[in-house]
Structure 1
């Protein structure tokens, strides 16, 4: 299993957002996509998942391949069936469906992630299973968004702003969930601003600046380079 993104370029209208983004993820790896706001992280995820055309964007060049299969031009639902599961920025749960309906709406059969498995992972969702998506707190919605993605049995889980806007206790719970998924061998591409947390979790990091990959390396290498963090992450 591998995702390979090489020299990816993309635009919204006349504005080119991605100039040259490259990254790779192998089986069981956790890789982060880091950078300041507006540097192209979300656009990279949307391009990989085939979402740009529906948002007024387009891929201009480069390649994104999943197990050697080009993703360019494929519809998002086809990419999802190939084993990529997205937890989008802003959660985007279905507000007028119950928790259980949210989980089953896009679920695929035949894998380990059943309703019971998700409820064991997120007991709070079991307690709120009959509540509408709009009735959940931000943290509960994020749990639901992760659970919904897991119900598609992803080989690669993509999380865009995994803990943004969440209370500290909920953030800690989400990080514990991601650590448990990693321990089970789940591959993850992660966007989040909590540098300390992602450095504890991830195997490698990719830093983007103005739509270009400017650095990639391990947590140890990132920790050893305050100049890099100051230049590209403002940390």
Structure 2
């Protein structure tokens, strides 16, 4: 589904990515791990066309996407829950959900407002409330719901539970588990190794803009000391 090979990227003269490689197969949950500032978000932004790669390749559904606009990549089926949520603060919950809703890939059982409200009942309760007045956890639910309303082939969550209260964090993890059970392909950035080892199929670690380790949950357990050194958790 997604293949990133030897990716390099920069912000102006400041190079951030040097050699990032990863792949995600249909129906997999894959994590991108590493300490802050190692290039995880830049990798996601490069995949989504928000940062132009300097080198290497990004293929989505077998098609090269490096250099395409974010809108084009989104229309191909990539849905992003960005770091910091970035909901439309002056729109209501409902307006946020319908603003970018689409089913361009003709999914047989597409996401609808009601399905999102069933997944996140709080959003249904606050459908008419301005998004900027929601709590951080509710905004994260809204960001996930908004991405799902695009009916993505691949859902990317950048810092899925960062800064959330424990009860909200648990709710987000339950939702991700449900999405995985439904066959949703997911690229996940988070720091909760305990949950990620159980939830994800495979893991990649980035260190200073390079992929330095990859493996399964069992590999994470086996290489715990090495992983701890890279991730620092």
Q: What displacement does 1:228 show?
A: 1.2
Give per-residue Cα distances to partners, 1:189-214, cap 9 Å, x unaligned. Answer: 00001111111110000001000000
Distance 2:214 2:50 in 1: 25
Q: CA deviation at 1:230?
A: 2.5
Match of residue 16 from structure 2: 17
| DSSP 3-state at the match of 1:5 | strand
Q: Distance in 1 between matches of 2:201 and 2:114?
A: 30
The one of 64, 69, 84 aligned to 1:75: 69
| Residue-by-residue CA offset, 1:109-156 (whole Å, 9 max, x unaligned) | 454101111111111000000000111000000000000000000010
Aligned length: 229
Residue 180, structure 1, aligned to residue 174, structure 2: no
Q: State how far apart, in whole Å, the 2-side matches of 1:104 and 1:231 are.
A: 43
Indicate if the aligned counterparts of 2:53 and 2:67 stay in contact, CA closer than 8 A: no
Other-structure match for 2:209: 211
Match of 1:131 in 2: 129
How far residue 227 of structure 1 moved from its aligned partner, in angstroms, is: 1.8
Secondary structure of the 2:41 match is helix
Map residues 89-100 of structure 1 onto 2, 5 A cutoff: 89-100=83-94
Give the TM-score taking structure 1 as reference length: 0.96
Q: Tell me the CA shift for residue 224 of structure 1.
A: 1.5
Aligned mates of 1:229, 1:35 — CA distance in 2: 9
Residue 116 (structure 1) aligns with: 114
User: TM-score of the superposition, structure 2-length normalised?
Assistant: 0.97
- Structure 2: which 5+ runs fail to align? none
For residues 53 and 39 of structure 2, what CA distance do their matches in structure 1 show?
Answer: 13
Identify the residue that residue 231 of structure 1 maps to in structure 2. Answer: 229
List per-residue Cα deviations over 1:50-77 (Å, max 9, x = no partner). Answer: 011xxxxx31100000121111111111
Q: Following the alignment from structure 1 to structure 2, what is the Cα–Cα distance between the partners of residues 226 and 51? A: 33
Hey, what does 1:55 align to over in structure 2?
Answer: none
Q: How large is the Cα RMSD of the aligned pairs?
A: 0.8
Partner of 1:39: 38
1:24 shift after superposition? 0.3
